Amino acid sequence: MGLLAETTTDTTDTTDTQQSETTVPDAAPTATIPGASAHTDSAAAFVPDQSRAERTASFDVADFPVPSGREEDWRFTPVKKLGALLAEGAAGGLDLTTRLPEGVTTSTITAADAQGLGILPPQDRAAVVAGAAADGALLLDIPAEAELDEPVRVSLVGTGGEPVHGHLVVRAGRFSKATVVVEHTGSGRYAQLVSAVTGDGSDLTVVSVQRWADDAQHLAQHDALVGRDARYKHLSVTLGGEIVRVNSNVRYAGPGGDATLLGVYFADSGQHLEHRSYIDHNAPHCKSRVTYKGALQGETARTVWVGDVLIRAEAEGTDTYELNRNLILTDGARADSVPNLEIETGEIEGAGHASATGRFDDLQLFYLQSRGISEDEAKRLVVRGFFADIIREIPLADLRDEVTAAIEEELATTAYAAPTQQTPSLTNKEN
């Protein structure tokens, strides 16, 4: 399929501040104002939608023109470098290997079959061309009531060459419990759609690791339709690649769903790492938590985080919160952070968001240095502590160790920026 150059599937596991914060405990309803279409060739194409719900979501490639970079959802992304990846009919492939615990199966299904499973529709050009890959999608099937002691591992290795489009569907049966790890390495240009459908009462964790080579480009949409009383966790770890953009989206199939989106990213000079999240609270009594943290070093290091939460009128009893933190390690790096919260009902448990970007806290450094720790080592300790709460959410000890070691490698080459004069000193971005 478009995802694959080669498929090897094992049916058993054979190898082994100043901080800005907004909290709305009981918000008043807000009206939705109709807006112009964001997908025409007229000047109105660049008028932002009035609500996140108005953006196009479709399986039809024709509904998503190639972006120019002026569109709201592409304005941070260097689209001029991505023309080949956004075109239809990619002919390249990735090397794929899987390690499957007993009972888990894989198969190839058509795009129509994938849609029949209830997957969420693509929401941008990259996702729709990935979903339309001519050879269909790879279905990873976790049976109902299965509780996996070992993770499902999917390894995708780029070998350069032509752009690649691929679609992975993860179906978690009712009352199942599983962890799926998708690892991306090598060199290539990859447009990806990952679609998770979780059955009622299930517990699914998806860990996506981006450790690409320095020249890789990766545009991804990772979706989940969360079943009634189900738990879903998505964790994105992005450490490599020239341009990496991962959109994580959640919608609920019934009440009682619980979704957690987590992210860790570390950008060097020349890297553009972009993460977007969208929680669509469309069912009552559901919960969501979003936490992304990033560090940047190098004059041209760039990160973007955009977090959208929509609480629809029917989603009474919603409990949601989103948080983004960015730590600037050297002069010249840039982090954009945009939290967005829309509320259409006042009958909620709570909703809020916070965003902060800044350098080291002088008091933390002074405390450590006063105990005989050198300045550089003190700064490394601060960075480790900055990421620690998310890294410990990684469910696998070996993967936690790999991520920690990769961050240590980044820190070993960091020429730190001078501390700021105010304590704490953070730049706020809040909607």
With cut-offs at 50, 70 and 90, classify the pLDDT of residue 428: very low
By the 8 A CB rule, do 392 and 291 touch?
A: no
Please give the Cα distance from 28 to 420 (Å, whole number): 39
| Helix/strand/coil for 53 | helix
Position 293 scores a pLDDT of: 97
Pull the structure tokens for residue 75: 């304005």
Backbone phi and psi for residue 270, each to the nearest 5 degrees, phi listed first? 90, -5
Quick check: helix, strand or coil at residue 45?
A: helix
pLDDT of residue 380: 85
Q: Greater confidence, 28 or 62?
A: 62
For residue 231, the cross-strand partners are: 203, 258
Closest CA to 265 of 299, 216, 302, 217: 302
N- to C-terminal Cα distance for the chain? 42
Q: How far apart are CA 413 and CA 368, in angstroms?
A: 21
Strand runs labelled E in 282-375:
287-296, 302-311, 319-328, 334-343, 350-358
Beta-carbon contacts of residue 206 (< 8 Å; ≥ 6 apart):
170, 179, 180, 182, 194, 196, 222, 224, 232, 233, 234, 235
pLDDT-based confidence at 47, cuts 50/70/90?
low
The band of 406, judged by pLDDT with boundaries at 50, 70 and 90, is: confident
pLDDT computed for residue 403 by the predictor: 86
Question: Quick check: 284 and 312 in contact, CB under 8 A?
Answer: no
Q: Which residues, other chains included, contact 411 with Cβ-Cβ below 8 Å and sequence gap of 6+?
A: 380, 383, 384
pLDDT, residue 417, reads: 55
> How are beta strands 203-212 and 231-238 bridged, if at all?
parallel
What's the pLDDT tens digit per position in 262-275?
999 999 999 999 99
Q: Taking residues 372-390, what's their average pLDDT?
A: 89
Q: Which amino acid is at 251?
A: R
- How does residue 2 score in pLDDT terms, banded at 50, 70 and 90? low
How many Cβ atoms from other residues are within 10 Å of residue 177's Cβ? Answer: 17
Q: What's the whole-number mean pLDDT along residues 84-106? A: 94
Give percent above pLDDT 90 in the chain.
70
When pLDDT is cut at 50, 70 and 90, the band that residue 379 belongs to is confident
Whole-number Å distance between alpha carbons of 372 and 197? 52
Task: Average the pLDDT over 392-421 and give the result.
Answer: 76
In angstroms, the Cα distances linking 51 to 6, 312, 419 are 42, 11, 40
**Polymer length in residues for the chain:** 431
* Under 8 Å between Cβ of 312 and 286: no
Residue partners of 132: CB distance under 8 A and separation at least 6: 59, 61, 88, 111, 165
Per-residue pLDDT reduced to its tens digit, 323-350: 999 999 988 999 999 999 999 999 999 9
| Residue 12: pLDDT over 70 | no
> Please, is 28 exposed, middle or buried when counting C-beta atoms within 10 Å of its C-beta (0-12, 13-18, 19+)?
exposed
**What are the boundaries of each domain within the chain?**
4-428
Residue-averaged pLDDT of the chain: 86
Query: For residue 142, what are its two tokens?
Result: 């976790």
Q: Report yes or no: 429 and 335 within 8 Å, Cβ to Cβ.
A: no
Measure the CA dihedral 273/249/326/387, to 10°: -100
pTM of the model: 0.85
Report the alpha-carbon distance of residue 200 to residue 230 in Å, rounded: 5
pLDDT exceeds 50 at position 229? yes
